[in-house]
Amino acid sequence: MRYKVNLKKTEEGYYIWVPGLPGCWSQGETEAEALESIKDAIQLYLETVDELTKDKDSRYVEIANA
């Protein structure tokens, strides 16, 4: 899957977050490091969502690529 991420350069490095996944953010000293670290953050975020919703009555829907 692909996720849109936003980057912001700061004095400490790069701050990175996923607008489509509220609360999913990370950071890195370089842009490349931040991009790598957000991959782990996304994976952990999605695993947490799965765990929190595992006993819920859920459905899946498919949408066309925008």
Q: For tokens 């929190």, what's the residue?
A: 52
Residue 61 included in any domain: no
- Span 9-29, mean pLDDT? 97
Amino acid at position 60, single letter: Y
What's the whole-model pTM score? 0.84
User: Given this model, what pLDDT does residue 50 score?
Assistant: 94
The structural domain count of the chain equals 1
Q: Binning pLDDT at 50, 70 and 90, where does residue 57 land?
A: very high
Residue 64 included in any domain: no
Residue 47 included in any domain: yes
Domain that holds residue 17: 6-52
- Say whether pLDDT at 66 is over 80: no
Backbone φ, ψ for residue 27 (5° rounding): -160, 170
Specify the 3-state DSSP secondary structure of 11.
coil
As a whole number of Å, the end-to-end CA separation of the chain is 14
Report pLDDT digits (tens) over 31-46. 999 999 999 999 999 9
